[in-house]
Amino acid sequence: MNKKLFFVALVFLSSAVLAQDKVFVKDGVAINGYDAVAYFAEGKPVKGVENLSLKSDNSTWLFSTKENLEKFKKDPAKYKPQFGGFCAFGMSRGYTAPTDPNAWTVVNDKLYLNYNLDVKKDWLKDRDNLIDKAAKNWEQLKNN
């Protein structure tokens, strides 16, 4: 399959997920099953475990420690990734795309995820401008 067809298929698939949950979910679990709090607390992606989970936004969020689960419960908005965990670069272009847990950045105490490490490099080149564009697009997409 050529890159354009793959990308179009990816956008349609992601849009279907967005319409249902407004959070990037794979196999019923938010953000690939990674612990959203760990990005802040440990400065790296850490896989969550099923016995430390929480339902929020029609999604299951997994955590690596009970402490991280409790932090998330107290202030989920602080830890949830921006744009529902969809790719920040894609959102700046007006579409949703899945994310790689290793392609992440914390900016002004907010977590942003990207499709992969190559996309993250492109996103970082104009990060602040792309965050503004993505925020505007997210407001429209999440309310539809």
Q: What would the pLDDT profile of 23-32 be if each residue is shown by its tens digit? A: 999 989 999 9
Beta-carbon contacts of residue 11 (< 8 Å; ≥ 6 apart): 95, 96, 97
Q: Provide the mean pLDDT of the chain.
A: 88
3-class SS at 46? coil
**What confidence tier does 142 reach under pLDDT thresholds 50, 70, 90?**
confident
- What average pLDDT does this structure show over 5-23? 47
Identify the pLDDT of residue 57. 82
**What confidence tier does 7 reach under pLDDT thresholds 50, 70, 90?**
very low
CA 69 to CA 123: how far, in whole Å? Answer: 29
Beta-carbon contacts of residue 6 (< 8 Å; ≥ 6 apart): none
Identify the pLDDT of residue 21. 52
The number of helix segments (H) and strand segments (E) in the chain equals 7, 6
pTM for the model stands at 0.85
Q: What would the pLDDT profile of 37-95 be if each residue is shown by its tens digit? A: 999 999 999 999 999 999 988 899 999 999 999 999 999 999 999 999 999 999 999 99
Task: Say which residue, 122 or 12, is predicted with more confidence.
Answer: 122
